[in-house]
Structure 1
Amino acid sequence: MAFGLFKKKENKVSEVKTGFLNLKVKEVIRETEDAMSIHFEQPEGETLSYKSGQFLTVIVNVNGKEERRAYSLCSSPYTDAYPAVAVKRVEGGVVSNYLNDSISTGDTIKLMEPNGNFTTEFASENNRHIVLFGGGSGITPLMSIAKSTLDQEPNSKVTLVYANRNKESIIFNEAIKEMSADVRFDVVHVLEAITDEFECHEGYLSQEIIGNVLKGVDVSNAEFFICGPTPMMDLTLSSLSALGVPDNQVRKESFVSAADSAKEDNANDGELVAREITVIYDGDEYKYTVEPDETILEKGLDEDVDLPFSCQSGLCTACRGKCLSGKVKMDEDEGLSEAEINEGYVLPCVSHPLTDDVVIEIG
């Protein structure tokens, strides 16, 4: 599952965690034919600390090569005894297929600590409407947010708009049915192939459907979260904007990143030439030359510099560093807040040196 993150621009610098965990698999649940949830035991003598909407980076060895992928937590730190992620098969997906085929109860998986900014703060005095738009496996972090809202905020409401191919592809279908027993929770299903088992819209998510949903929402007192395939998210974002929803009330997390295509475009940029850069990490200094078609992180890993990373798409911020001198070009910067950018923070996994004096300190 490729993914991306969007963080609401805030006037603060976020904390980036890069620690590692080894957690035992407590249970594997087959959610649909092509999706599973992996539930982990808590760390020995501890309780894993995470926020609803964050993700875990799974580190596995597949065919002799270490692979890392980020998967959103579907569990809530308030209602679930064990942290869990959901993994949907992706055509040609090295890690998603490996996990679906190979992981079972009792296995131990190496993980990076929870990270991500697709979150919100919960408080019992809140009285708001959380509106969630999900497509396919994009339901994963939205489930965490929905469960936490209902548990922590007795005066708040949650509306979930969930688009899928058909009834059989609805991940967490039974859990959603159980949540629907709460009068503060409402679900709107959008299915390409409709069912007579419950009310749903036929076809694809549209501005008309979104407009009908907003009729029951006090937009001035609402927060909107969007997660899913790029076309679905683009449609939702443009529709909310057209319907008068302010941008600062909307957060998104994408499961597809445009960073790869952006890097291809930048390879022909006349400003990008081979340049030697310096990376400071864990008190050590590393110098190496980055070619125009490479990122600073890619070259560092090729040089056996054990730099921290997760998504390699410029969206999770696990590799974040501060540019002490020089200038770099980032293919993607949505993972950083305006404050971070202003303070000189960059994301090496999507960065290319533009000057000969680039020095980046990580950690």
Structure 2
Amino acid sequence: MSAADPQAWGTRRRRRFAPETWAPLICKGVWDETADVRTFLLATADGSRIEHDPGQFMTFRIDTPDGAVERCYTIASSAARDGGIEITVKRQDGAASGHLHDTLTPGASITAFGPSGRFGPVAWPGLKYALITAGSGVTPMLSMLRTAADRGIDVDAVLLQVSPTDADMIAAEEIALLKRRLPQLVHIPIPTRGAGAARPNAELLTSLIPDMAERTVLCCGPQPFMEMVRSTARDAGVPSESYGEESFDFSSPETEITPAADARLRSVTFARSGKVFDCAETTTILAAVKAAGLPLPSSCARGMCGTCKTFKHSGEVTMAHEGGIRQREIDRGFILPCVSRPLTDIVLDC
């Protein structure tokens, strides 16, 4: 729409973007956050509103020269705004992020699925928060803080942001403005190189956040960083139900077992869509889903992030997770398909 079109400025009731189907989003704007981090403003092609909770993500199908790949990117924008979403993407090795930086320009489209995920204050409620991030892991925290500011939530939060240099701090100027709207927000930038550099470790974290045990700790960043934060939080006395993390680190996915010729096949049924496919007992359900060409949001593929958490209506699985699902969720019937292998025929709520 042009600026001269009254509908571009007015408000009207719009239908909701369906989170369970793939659909195109149109790029409406692009701007650089740092030298290698770029934000993309995306809106639905039909004007429908995108409803999401702060901390959720969307899965994007990216058509690269080497073929289509799927990647998850956190929605960085405020959940109080539904006219479009923002994703903030760091250019990294591999085809996906570089292809976005090079080709996703205003007017271009990209296919998306979601919003999905249970990371953030809705799933991890608390009176006080410690938001501990590294690199582009700050994006879900930005959504939380932007949402709090837009909705007038006086959140008590410490944002600890680790980046290589001050110039690599994503949204540093905006965070300074958010502090004016969120008087209890404490921002602690930690550069790891240059003047004022520090090494993020347990000693530093506990000295900077001495009341960590009293806070709900949410962490997002590279895998080794999250392992350090998780251990630090545990040693500081943070209960497991007050610690959450999210990562879209694709550097070391779980090694998949190649099905033996005599491996027994089990059927997996998606109850809502009616799709049925086979999964060998030696193969994860997520791998079988991908092989069947069906959508199921996922990220770490190691049973840590909880992205692919799905309700199991019937059947038995063997599951070896790394903290991405709580025991009470398992007791209710949820599984992580990325680390679950079928022992019987399975019916999932998909």
- TM-score w.r.t. length of structure 1: 0.78
Partner of 2:226: 233
Partner of 1:3: none
Partner of 2:155: 156
Q: Which amino acid aligns with 1:114?
A: P
- Partner SS for 1:76: coil
Residue 19 and residue 285 in structure 1: after superposition, are their counterparts in 2 closer, same or farther (change >3 A)? Answer: closer
Contact 2:206 / 2:212 at 8 angstroms: preserved in 1?
no
Q: Which amino acid aligns with 2:219?
A: I
Partner of 1:22: 24
C-alpha separation in 1, matches of 2:119 and 2:213: 20
**C-alpha RMSD of the superposition:** 3.2
Contact 2:145 / 2:178 at 8 angstroms: preserved in 1?
no
Partner of 2:75: 73
Partner of 1:9: none
- Partner SS for 1:41: strand
Contact 1:127 / 1:153 at 8 angstroms: preserved in 2?
no
Shift of residue 80, structure 1, vs aligned partner: 7.7
Shift of residue 181, structure 1, vs aligned partner: 3.6
Q: 1:35-114 to 2 correspondence within 5 Å?
A: 35-42=37-44, 44-63=46-65, 65-78=67-80, 82-91=84-93, 93-114=94-115
Deviations 1:170-207 (A, max 9, x none): 12222123224443222111112234xxxxx5222122
- Paired residues, number: 327
Contact 1:297 / 1:307 at 8 angstroms: preserved in 2?
no
C-alpha separation in 2, matches of 1:301 and 1:257: 15
Shift of residue 99, structure 1, vs aligned partner: 0.5
Contact 2:126 / 2:216 at 8 angstroms: preserved in 1?
no
Shift of residue 301, structure 1, vs aligned partner: 4.2
Aligned pair 1:252/2:249, yes or no?
no
Deviations 1:117-164 (A, max 9, x none): 112149xxx993322111001011011112223343544322211111
Using CA pairs under 8 Å that are at least 6 residues apart, name the structure with larger relative contact order, 1 or 2. 1
Q: Which amino acid aligns with 1:105?
A: P
Q: 1:256-271 to 2 correspondence within 5 Å?
A: 256=249, 260-261=253-254, 263=255
Q: Which amino acid aligns with 1:60?
A: I
Q: Which runs of 5+ in 2 are unaligned?
A: 1-17
Partner of 1:145: 144
Q: Which amino acid aligns with 1:237?
A: R
Contact 2:169 / 2:189 at 8 angstroms: preserved in 1?
no
Aligned pair 1:351/2:340, yes or no?
yes
Partner of 1:209: 204
- TM-score w.r.t. length of structure 2: 0.81
Moved more, 232-241 or 51-60: 232-241
Shift of residue 285, structure 1, vs aligned partner: 6.1
Aligned pair 1:276/2:275, yes or no?
no
Contact 1:56 / 1:115 at 8 angstroms: preserved in 2?
yes
Contact 1:39 / 1:85 at 8 angstroms: preserved in 2?
yes
Moved more, 51-60 or 176-185: 176-185
- Partner SS for 1:260: coil
Contact 2:55 / 2:118 at 8 angstroms: preserved in 1?
yes
Residue 206 and residue 43 in structure 1: after superposition, are their counterparts in 2 closer, same or farther (change >3 A)? Answer: same
Identity %: 24
Contact 2:118 / 2:307 at 8 angstroms: preserved in 1?
no
Q: Which amino acid aligns with 2:115?
A: P
Partner of 1:177: 176
C-alpha separation in 1, matches of 2:120 and 2:134: 18
- Partner SS for 2:63: strand
Q: Which runs of 5+ in 1 are unaligned?
A: 1-15, 196-200
C-alpha separation in 1, matches of 2:85 and 2:98: 21
Partner of 1:13: none
C-alpha separation in 2, matches of 1:289 and 1:249: 35
- Partner SS for 1:309: coil
Residue 297 and residue 79 in structure 1: after superposition, are their counterparts in 2 closer, same or farther (change >3 A)? Answer: closer
- Partner SS for 2:253: helix
